[in-house]
């Protein structure tokens, strides 16, 4: 029983310690941490006047500091200030949201006013994204590994600003490749493809790709081509027959169409030198053979001018599966080269 009597005293000690810690955070001007600690309890009915006053003071002081800093940054006219401006707007909105659930009486007593920052945040975010993308591209264009490593900071800020930015994956990919000594490229499960098709997919000229490529190398950025589906259609021959009449003469005309396709579907995956996935790009590449020709039975003089113009075409040998696959592999190779140059 003596242990049970100790429990209330332990709880009281913990509460006093928590209060002391919050006061220390307030005195250290860590206002957001004060709000994070106390605001949820006030939302759930805590009427402790000291807590409410501490949150109210933290809220107004933090917002005032952010407002003054935003005005000073805007007055500088420099493009590099927008990421900080946007983050400060986010902090102000976050505080405003944290206090929204306070009882109306408490909000009135602390002069809480709902803030409408959406338009200002949109402008700031657009400017911030434009600067961060431009700065990262500038650093990545030098070809220097040190600049590529510095660009990682700006790309990280871009992700914090907008994870849906359309340039983000390409910047991460380029940064990983520029900061690596070599870029490894390969195909997962090569057994799905003939050896010469694999070679055609991975055969890049130095002028095509601005990185040093290797096929097997440890501690390198990685490009992995995963072929999920390979389809070669059978030869298809479509025919349409009709009659033409001219000058009392009749001819039977047949239009023929030879078709055959090969399709590769899958994804190109990118990873940095630490094995972290940067992103993936799905692909569907097709090589199609098609040949149209026309034959007739009957009097040639009965043919229309259009039919006569088509009689010069003839049936041709349909490509083999292997030749179509090689053609589609070269198209996939071109697609990957374009992706690597982005």
Nearest Cα to Cα of residue 288 among 225, 232, 335: 232
Which value, to the nearest 10 degrees, does the dihedral of the CA atoms of residues 100, 106, 107, 108 take?
160
The CATH code of domain 183-341 reads: 3.30.160
Q: Is 192 exposed, middle or buried (0-12, 13-18, 19+ CB in 10 A)?
A: middle
Within a 10 A sphere around the Cβ of 299, how many other Cβ atoms? 15
Residue 25 is predicted with a pLDDT of 85
Rounded to whole angstroms, the Cα distance separating 1 from 341 reads: 74
For 58, what's the count of Cα atoms within 13 Å in the CB-facing half-sphere? 29
Averaged over successive runs of 10 residues, the pLDDT of the chain (342 residues) comes to 43 47 86 90 87 91 94 94 95 93 91 92 96 95 89 94 93 89 78 82 81 62 86 90 89 91 90 84 92 90 88 85 90 89 81
Q: Is 42 exposed, middle or buried (0-12, 13-18, 19+ CB in 10 A)?
A: buried
Residue 276 is predicted with a pLDDT of 84
Residue 118 is predicted with a pLDDT of 94
Tokens of 261: 């396709």
Residue 137 is predicted with a pLDDT of 94
pTM assigned to the model: 0.70
β strands within 151-235, DSSP E: 183-188, 213-214, 221-232
Outline where 45-144 has alpha helix (H).
49-76, 82-99, 104-109, 118-140
**In Å, what is the CA distance from 322 to each residue of 99, 186, 189, 329?**
67, 21, 19, 10
Nearest Cα to Cα of residue 121 among 143, 145, 88: 88
Within a 10 A sphere around the Cβ of 120, how many other Cβ atoms? 16
Tokens of 9: 């005293």
Residue 205 is predicted with a pLDDT of 81
The residue ranges of every structural domain in the chain are: 2-177, 183-341
Rounded to whole angstroms, the Cα distance separating 58 from 110 reads: 11
């Amino acid at each position: 029983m003596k242990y049970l009597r100790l429990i209330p005293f332990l709880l009281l000690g913990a509460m006093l310690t928590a209060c002391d810690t919050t006061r220390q955070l307030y005195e250290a001007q860590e206002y957001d941490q004060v709000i994070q600690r106390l605001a949820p309890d006030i939302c759930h009915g805590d009427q402790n006047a000291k807590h409410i006053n501490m949150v109210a003071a933290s809220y107004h002081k933090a917002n005032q500091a952010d407002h003054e800093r935003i005005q000073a940054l805007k007055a500088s006219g420099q493009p590099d200030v927008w990421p900080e401006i946007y983050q400060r707007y986010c902090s102000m909105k976050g505080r405003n949201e944290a206090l929204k659930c306070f009882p109306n009486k408490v909000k009135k007593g602390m002069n809480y006013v709902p803030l409408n920052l959406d338009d200002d945040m949109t402008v700031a975010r657009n400017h911030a994204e434009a600067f961060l993308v431009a700065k990262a591209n500038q650093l990545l264009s030098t070809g220097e590994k040190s600049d590529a490593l510095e660009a990682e900071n700006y790309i990280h800020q871009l992700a914090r600003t907008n994870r849906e930015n359309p340039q983000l994956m390409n910047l991460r990919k380029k940064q990983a490749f520029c900061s690596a000594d070599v870029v490894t490229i390969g195909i997962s499960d090569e057994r799905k493809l003939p050896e010469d098709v694999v070679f055609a997919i991975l055969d890049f000229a130095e002028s095509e790709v601005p990185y040093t490529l290797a096929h097997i190398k440890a501690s390198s950025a990685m490009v992995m081509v995963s072929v999920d589906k390979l389809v070669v259609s059978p030869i298809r021959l479509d025919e349409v027959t009709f009659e033409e009449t001219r000058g009392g003469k009749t001819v039977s005309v047949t239009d023929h169409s030879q078709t055959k396709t090969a399709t590769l579907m899958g994804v190109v995956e990118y990873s940095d030198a630490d094995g972290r996935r940067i992103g993936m790009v799905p692909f569907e590449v097709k090589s199609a053979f098609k040949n149209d020709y026309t034959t007739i039975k009957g009097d040639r003089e009965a043919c229309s001018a259009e039919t006569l113009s088509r009689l010069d075409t003839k049936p041709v040998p349909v490509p083999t599966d292997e030749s179509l696959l090689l053609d589609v592999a070269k198209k996939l190779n071109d697609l990957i080269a374009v992706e690597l140059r982005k």
